[in-house]
Structure 1
Amino acid sequence: MSETAAFRVDVDLGERSYPVHIGPGVRALLPGLVAAAGAERAVVVSARPRGLLPALGVETLWLAAADGETGKNLAAVAGLCERFARFGLTRSDVVISCGGGTTTDTVGLAAALYHRGTPVIHLPTSLLAQVDASIGGKTGVNLPEGKNLVGAYWQPRAVLCDTEFLATLPPRERVNGYGELARCHFIGAPGLAALPLERQIARSVALKASVVARDERDQGLRHVLNYGHTLGHALERATDYALRHGEAVAVGTVFAGRLAGALGRIPPARVREHRDVVASYGLPTALPAGVDHDTLIAYMRRDKKAEGHALTFVLDGPGGPALVAGVPEELVRAELAAMPRDGARAVASPPVPAP
């Protein structure tokens, strides 16, 4: 990576390698990428106004996307694929996503399924999507039973993290993005908070790229990227997404530290470090009041990392973060009970999902 305001990180996957461009105005690279792909048509699925993107130089269908977890489902994917077909999109053309992480996830899955794989380029417009969601080829949508339970691995042709988009984010959405940056502290990229924004994004992307290059399909090492996500995903579902993804991962990161400490994997000072790092970003460190522990545990049992119905977490340890299976339920319950509650984020838990 250069020392200028614009950065390039390459995700090294052999024939499926691609660049991630980071910096102000990098969306201007889009027409060249479309031309290089040899596409004759493009579909842009965007949560942002059409005028913010450059003309692509090919016949283009513009579709509106609504960022948000409630619309991240199979019906949305089917609707996109139907529009692709009516437009006459072929597997030699290109799909472009422009929006937050829910848009890149949903559009990425539609591109993966349409004609069994159509090229996709991501323009993530939220901090959360730029530091994590748009990188690495994971696509997916939610079911009522859990988050991201249906998906596919489909690497993009390129990712353009245009930091000019971030200037329009509301404060809560910007802080939400810090959730993934905070967990980076414990998986190989400490000290991000002291860096300029473009370097924060570039360091996070470089960390993820290095992991994905060694373990594209979650066979082992890539699990570390889910630090804080086991409880985080459960909190999202249990609050019906009133708690944002980054906020939930932040609480999950604090909980992961407490759980690692209770298992004797890390000393008390390292447990406190989890809370201190998360708090330094202005992120929540406490459970929302009113969330039922049975509901959280039921969702955690459905986590994609789970083996059978055992509770499985990525936890810090003397050798760094590692996947720890078979964590005793009574210990998880005890640590949930010991977590502080945030009355300002009080929510009512939905019913416990059926097994």
Structure 2
Amino acid sequence: MNTRIPVRLGDRSYDVLVGPGVRTALAGVVRGLGARRAVVVSARPPEWVPDTGVPTLLLPARDGEQGKTLSTVEQLCGEFVRFGLTRSDVVVSCGGGTTTDVVGLAAALYHRGVAVVHLPTSLLAQVDASVGGKTAVNLPAGKNLVGAFWQPSAVLCDTDYLSTLPRRELRNGLGEIARCHFIGAPGLRDLPLPEQIAASVTLKAGIVAEDERDTGVRHLLNYGHTLGHALEIATGFALRHGEGVAIGTVFAGRLAGALGRIGQSRVDEHLAVVRHYGLPTALPADVDPAVLVRQMRRDKKSVTGLGFVLDGPAGAELVTDVAEDVVTRVLAEMPRADLADLVGAATTGPVPA
């Protein structure tokens, strides 16, 4: 059974479809846009790419953080020009979160904006990256430092794509689902995976509708991400995004406890939730806390000091100007594990259904 979730943004509103086989709705979406041509940028084999119903250029995606660069965006835009793509046509992404980000940014910049439709093929992209209109690429100094807001015209979360994912890639997406427990969706652990996806998207759609440009409540979606992004960079992306967010969620609980915002039982709940999804909870043994702090200062939420989304008496909220010595102490108190063990644990053991 398919679920339709509206993202209500006035004239930028669109629907997210979740369920098996929903990718076949692509031709109807393209027809509704009035596009005469389409460029599909895909990290999947051609047989997994649905028909657009119009003349189409199929380009391979460079899925992965290493391809999430301005040079990749420039290359895509060059292909758009050679194909003759106009402002009234459409670009389609078919891949994971990095593909969604890069293709979305290329669509936002080309002719100052051309319609984009996302077909997220990873769990991470379905529950988070494809929805909300944030597009970005990395710089050597940090993650997602160059980007734009560009809402898609539709998002088709086909759960059939998930059947081909390796175990670690499924766990990667579970990191985003786990953090939802602390920002408004505490009951996800008891749901089957398709319902977890729909509930995560519903939560995000409501937050985005309230704060499209990330000036207020949308900060909640960054729960666990400040340390998570720093860990990705510090490990050369050996840790995946969802794994970093999982560790960042455990850290967020510990930091909130150290600041007196929550009690020990709630701190322990962060650990229990992350463990439930089979995700890593320890810091890599060879990562220097000073490097992590330096990287976290570059986070977009950090304006005059260190900033984190933290749990508290009234729920999660953005906390700014957190003292560096407290952050360093909490990092020092985190359990440590070899990076190889953290990565290896993500490829074995059961994945919650």
- TM-score (normalised: structure 1): 0.95
Structure 2 portions without partners, runs of 5+: 343-353
Q: 1:306 aligns to what?
A: 302
Q: 1:264 aligns to what?
A: 260
- Tell me, yes or no, if structure 1 residue 68 matches structure 2 residue 87: no
CA contact (8 A) 1:175 1:282 kept: yes
Q: Distance in 2 between matches of 1:55 and 1:286?
A: 44
CA contact (8 A) 2:210 2:217 kept: yes
Q: 1:189 aligns with which of 178, 185, 190?
A: 185
CA contact (8 A) 1:289 1:346 kept: no
Q: Distance in 2 between matches of 1:291 and 1:285?
A: 14
Give the drift of 1:346: 6.9
- Tell me, yes or no, if structure 1 residue 334 matches structure 2 residue 329: yes
CA contact (8 A) 2:42 2:49 kept: no
CA contact (8 A) 2:12 2:151 kept: yes
- Tell me, yes or no, if structure 1 residue 135 matches structure 2 residue 136: no
- Tell me, yes or no, if structure 1 residue 291 matches structure 2 residue 287: yes
CA contact (8 A) 1:290 1:346 kept: no
Q: Distance in 2 between matches of 1:197 and 1:7?
A: 13
Q: Which whole-Å deviations, capped at 9, do the CAs of 1:117-146 have from their partners, x for residues lacking one? A: 000000000000000000000000000000
Is the partner of 1:259 in helix, strand or coil? helix
Give the drift of 1:54: 2.5
CA contact (8 A) 1:6 1:198 kept: no
For residues 164-313 of structure 1, the aligned pairs below 5 Å read 164-308=160-304, 310-313=305-308
Q: Which whole-Å deviations, capped at 9, do the CAs of 1:50-69 have from their partners, x for residues lacking one? A: 12122222110000002100
Identity value in percent: 68
CA contact (8 A) 2:49 2:94 kept: no
Q: 2:6 aligns to what?
A: 10
Q: Which whole-Å deviations, capped at 9, do the CAs of 1:148-183 have from their partners, x for residues lacking one? A: 000000000000000000000000110111000000
For residues 45-194 of structure 1, the aligned pairs below 5 Å read 45-194=41-190
Q: Distance in 2 between matches of 1:281 and 1:214?
A: 29
Question: Could you say what the CA RMSD is over the residues aligned between the two structures, in angstroms?
Answer: 0.9
Q: 1:40 aligns to what?
A: 36
CA contact (8 A) 1:214 1:221 kept: yes
Q: 2:320 aligns to what?
A: 325
Runs of 4+ in 1 over 3 A off after TM superposition: 344-347
Q: Which whole-Å deviations, capped at 9, do the CAs of 1:15-44 have from their partners, x for residues lacking one? A: 000000000000010000001100010000
Is the partner of 1:325 in helix, strand or coil? strand
- TM-score (normalised: structure 2): 0.96
- Tell me, yes or no, if structure 1 residue 25 matches structure 2 residue 21: yes
AA of the residue aligned to 1:316: D
Q: Which whole-Å deviations, capped at 9, do the CAs of 1:99-119 have from their partners, x for residues lacking one? A: 000000000000000000000
Give the drift of 1:197: 1.4
Matched pairs, number: 342
Q: Which moved more, 1:299-308 or 1:153-162?
A: 299-308
Q: Distance in 1 between matches of 2:299 and 2:322?
A: 13
Q: Distance in 1 between matches of 2:13 and 2:190?
A: 30
Q: 1:345 aligns to what?
A: 340
Q: Which moved more, 1:289-298 or 1:207-216?
A: 289-298
AA of the residue aligned to 1:273: E
